[in-house]
Structure formats: structure tokens, C-alpha cells
Amino acid sequence: MKYTKLCIKVSGGLTKPQKSLLEAKLRSLPDVVSAYINDQGILQVACMTSKSAGLVVKYLKAFRISPRENVPGNAELKEEISKNMNGLLTSAVSLAGLELVKRISPAAFCGMYAARSALVLIISRNFLMSGLKSLFTDLRPNADTLTATAVVASVLGGRPESSLTIIMLSNAAELLTVYTAEKTRSHISRMLKLDQQMAWKIDAEGREVKVPVESLQIGDSVCVHTGEKISVDGRVTEGKASVDQSSITGEYMPVEKTNDDVVYAGTIVKSGFLRILVEKVGDQTALSRIVHLVEEAHTRKAPVQSFADKISTMLVPLSFVTAGLVYGVTKDWQRVLNMLFIDYSCGLKLSTSTAISAAIGRAASRGVLIKGGNYVESLSNIDTVVLDKTGTITAGRPVVVEVETTGDANEQEVLLLAAAAEYHSTHPLATAILSRVKEAGWQIPPHDSTETIVGRGIKAYLPQTEAIEGGLVLVGSSAFMNESKVSNEIFQTIEAKHREQGRNVVYVARKGQVLGVLAISDPIRPKMKKSINKLRRLGIDEVVMLTGDSKKVAMQTASNLGIDSYQAEVMPQDKALLVARMQRGSQVMMIGDGINDAPALAFADVGVAMGGSRTDVAVEAADITINVDDPLSVPETLSLAKQTMGIIRQNFAATITINTAAILLGAMGKINPLVSALIHNMATIGVVLNSTRILIKGNSR
């Protein structure tokens, strides 16, 4: 399906609450797929029909905002590429043509001064308008102001064609930068489109069936459970839940949702259960994620980008001052042009933004989504890595290896009770239980309601059936049983035996009585030890493991992998506190995959969601999402961040050294304006090319 996209510059007068309200209101309009205001003040609205685009335009009049133009999907970057390519070719052809005329007929060339000046002014009109706007409207002269001044000065000095070199090479540098950004965007879009969205649909018989979001229709009913993302816009018909709506409203406090409340695609059920009547369908969620995440990645600047912008802004007026001083001392117009043709801002800004964009693009081509340039820089400074155990260190595909029961229930009944309670859980141990039941070919009994006790287990009320006796069922850890006043002494020896073998033990109780335990083994991921060793070689000082498992299981895992330290039997809120404690004097990266890890991921300097069973909560809380099931992606991404920052430092040194040397030579009259322009612009292109090699070196998996 093709979408109509409105690209809108939002007035600086809108406050943050007003922007959030505007986004939410636009999303509520019919056939509006997404609406998002990025940090640069650009509102992008994607609509399914031209009629809905008209409604958006009409609504925006209340905010006194006018769309710049309607463009399809990803056309802005392609438009920039086309504009820069046209500028490059036009200036190159004009420069070659004028040089040819000069060689064939010098007299005719001299007589064409007015024509040459007009041609140069026409070709450089974009730079002239941008430079004048930044000077007189924004009151902040930039590199375009310097270029515009150089063009005018070259015309007044009788050598208008000399500025064509600046225009040509500036367009070449901009072309490289925009091309890198376009490649990055395509990598991210392709990666996100591979992540198929699924939903729990209520079928005609009242059963919950997992189906692709694209198959849902208006009027269908879907269920959403703890830790899952709501995939549709709709209205609650049953249940109660705490919902994180920050992606829609900007409000980070979860909102209670109950019967007849409206819910939106992209929001997350933090706890509870909802049955939702679908009111909007289509590709909303997929497109919204692509637009939102890509724009976030490009607008979240790294500190080094902000530093480059600040330095560049400061150095532009300095170039004017230097030109004035040179003219005052020498009265040589050619030396003045030398000062105007050389500036630091292009090389610093373009190369830095290109390097960050290339790093994000290369990571995306490897199946890793970095949500912003600031995380690239933060990642390069990491010295401590904290790993969750289940689903991150381990494969996240555990299997039930043994079932121990009492005389009150047999193995099948214990497994069915556990499977019924865990049916909607995304925890890897729940997956193991469900897989065991499905392999046996047994029908999983229904449940009336469930409650997830984070870090402990699940409570479920099961109805009476032919296969099982119903009632309140508890499935979880030994600590969960103790806190629920359920005696589990009968299995203490058996639990100790399995713990010594590095297995997880899950208790199953009904009506306050333990019926059995499940021994579940989750092998360590292949390449995990190699990944940890590579992290150490990249400068990581300490590797820490956090887990809710027992001390014996944690100790054995840490010993096998050579992990420096571990914390066992940790509650989710304690993970966040431990990460915060480690941040005193250290830069911490937290790697996790589940609901339990979300607070710690949010607290860490860099949060990474990794693992095939990672939940939507973890993905939203993380700064980096790894979509490939390979532990080596972690050191690869860390190495990429360090390489990127190294290249940025190289670019800073090269830009400052080359341009400073050129300014000194130009001030002394050792070089002419044409050579000055060549040195400056070739240096800019050189550092931009140095940045683009980050993207070129990356090969897609």
C-alpha cells in the first residue's frame, strides 16, 4: 500500500505538551497511520488516503501550521540526493565550459563578465538564499553564509568562476552525506520490516489464536497480556491493565485502562490483561515503528555532534574577522577570498554526522538497531557489562528434562496445570513448559484469569475440566511458594539435586498444595564465552551477571564463562538498583531480554535488548536492539562504536590541521583562491569519505 506523507515544519512556539497533544489528535483522525514530531521540529504525518491527508491539513489550520508538500514515504532523502547531484553536475559543466572558452578565446572570456557573474549567481542561488536567511532571519551565520559571501566577493573581485569550485565540491560533500543517510534509513526500514507483528485474536469459538496483525479486520477482538505491545487502535471490552502510552502522549506514567477505554497501537501493557475491539487495522504499527525509530535515530545527536555544531558556529564569524583583518593589513582582495573560501564548519559537521549515520546504518545491516547517535558515543565509553542470565547468557530455549510429582497428581496433570497458567507468558521457562505439552499432543486447558508476579511466578484461576481439577494454581519459584504460604519441604532435596546440575526448578501448586516440580535446563548460548572474551579485549574491565536463579545455578554459569562476579536471586527492581550502584565511577551497559530486565535497561548508560525471546517492554526500554541471535553481535557493535569515535577524532584532526595550514598560506599570499577552494573542499570530501567507509565496510548478515 502507498502512503501520502505530509512533511511539516512545526512552529517553535509549541510547548512539549502541545506537541504531544497534536501528535495524539492527528493519530486519532481516520486513516492516519502515524504522526511524530522529531527533535528538529519536523512533523511527519503518514496517511492511507488523500482524503485523510486533507483532514490533517484542515485540522492543522487550528495550530496555524501549513504542510510544505506531500511526498511519498522516503522521498525527502531522495529529493536531497537529486538536488545535490544536479548542483554538482551543473557547477562542474559550467566550470568546464568557462575554462574551455577562456582557453579558446581569452578576449571573449573577459567580455563575458556580466554573463559569467549571472551564471554563478544562478547556480549558487540555494547557498545564497540559505546564507542570507541564516544571517538576517535566524541571526546565526553558518557555513552557507560564508559560502554566499565568498560567491559575492568573487563576483565583485572580477573572478566569479572561482566560486564554482566551492559550489561543485560542496555539493559533492553534501551528496555523500545524504547518500549515507539514505542508505542508513533503508537498512533500518528493511530490518524492522522483517520483524513480523503478531496478535492474540479471539476466534469464533472464543479461543485465543496467534495471527499476523495484517490479517486483523475492524470488528475483530484481540487479547493483550503483560509485557506485550498493543498492535491495533481499539476500545477495551474486558479486563484491566496498566498501559505505558509514552510513545503516543509523551507521558511516562502508566495509565489504567479498563472497560470502554480507548487504546492505541504502539502502547505497552505493563501489567494486567485487556480484551480489545479492533477499530483501526492495516500496517499502522509497522509503518509507525519505522517512521518513529528512524527519525529518533537521526535526531538524537551524539554529544560529539553537538560539539562539532557548536565549534562550527563559533568558527564562522571567526572566518569573517580573519578576512577583515587580512584586508585591513594587505588590501589584497585575493587574500581576502582565500580567507572566505576556507572554513572549518563543513568538514567538522558533515564528517561527524556522516560517521554517526554510517555507524547506525552499518549496525542495522548487521541486524542491530541503535536508536540514536548519542548511544554510539556512550557505547564507545563503556567499561562494565552487565548480563541477564535467562534468555541472554543462556539460549532462551530451555527444555523440561524431568518432572517430579506427589501422589495427588500425575505428570500429565502437573504439566497441564503449568501450561494453562503460563499460556500467555513470554518467559523462556514458560516456553519450555508449553513446548513439552505440545510435543505430547495434549490440549492445553483454558484459564479464567492470570496475574504475573514479576520475578516470582504466575497466579492463575483455572476452571474445572475433564483433564484437570480447577482452582487457584501457582507456578513459580521456591521463594514464590514460601511467600504464598505454600509448603514445599517435600521437594527440597530434589530441588537441591537439580540446582547442583545448573537446572532451574519450577514448582506447581493448586489450592495451596504443591503437586510437583519441573526441572528445566537452559544451555548457555553458543559463542557466549567467545563474546565475553572479545569484550575484554575491547577494553571492558568487568563483566557481571544478574539472575533471579539460585546461587548454585548462578555460580556454575559464572564459573563456566569466566564472569567476574554475579548476583543471584535478584528481583527486577533490585537489578535496576544494582546497575545504578555500578554506575558510580563506571560506564555500564546492561544486556537483557525480558520484562524483568526493562528497569535495569532503562537505568544503564546503554541498554541492549538481545535474545530470540526478548519482549516488547525490553525493546522499548533498550537503547540498542539486537535482532540476530548471535552473542558476537555485542562485541561487534562495541567495536563499531569505538571505530566510529576514532574516525571522528581523525576527521577533527585532519580538518583543523589542513584548513589551518591553508589559511596561513592564503593569508601570506602563497596560494590563490582557486587553490584555497580546492584544499578546503577536497579536505571536506576526504573526511566525509573517511566517515562513509564505516558503512562500506559493513556486510549484511
Task: Compute the distance between CA of residue 318 and CA of residue 565 in angstroms, rounded to an integer.
Answer: 53
Looking only at the bridges linking them, the beta strands covering 504-510 and 513-521 are: antiparallel
C-alpha cell at 372: 540514536
In whole angstroms, what is the distance from residue 510 CA to residue 354 CA?
60
| Rounded distance between C-alpha atoms, residue 592 and residue 572, angstroms | 11
The 3-class secondary structure across 475-543, one letter per residue, is EECHHHHHHCCCCCHHHHHHHHHHHHCCCEEEEEEECCEEEEEEEEECCECCCHHHHHHHHHHCCCCEE
Report yes or no: 531 and 635 within 8 Å, Cβ to Cβ.
yes
- Strands 4-9 and 384-388 come out as unpaired
- Separation of alpha carbons 679 and 213, rounded Å: 55
Q: Which three cell numbers stand for residue 419?
A: 501450561
Letter for the amino acid at 448? D
* φ/ψ (deg, to 5) at 559: -65, -40
Amino acid identity, residue 316? V
Residue with cell 535526531: 299
Residue 449's CB: how many other CB atoms inside 10 A? Answer: 11
Distance CA(19)–CA(111), nearest Å, equals 57
Residues linked to residue 450 through DSSP beta bridges, in sequence order: 460
Asked if 632 contacts 531 with a C-beta cutoff of 8 angstroms, the reply is yes
Strand partners, 489: none
Residues taking part in catalysis: 388
Strand partners, 525: none
Mapped onto helix, strand or coil, the DSSP state of residue 30 is coil
Cα separation, 240 vs 269, whole angstroms: 10
Contacts of 385 (CB under 8 A, 6+ apart): 535, 540, 542, 543, 544, 588, 589, 591, 634
| Cell 525493546 -> residue | 619
The strands making up 565-567's β-sheet, listed across from edge to edge, are 368-370, 624-626, 606-610, 588-592, 384-388, 542-546, 565-567
Phi, psi of 687 (to 5 degrees): -70, -30
Alpha-carbon span 167 to 147, nearest angstrom: 8
Tell me whether residue 252 is exposed, middle or buried, using C-beta atoms within 10 angstroms of its C-beta: 0 to 12, 13 to 18, 19 or more: exposed
User: What is the rounded distance in angstroms from the CA atom of residue 572 to the CA atom of residue 420?
Assistant: 24
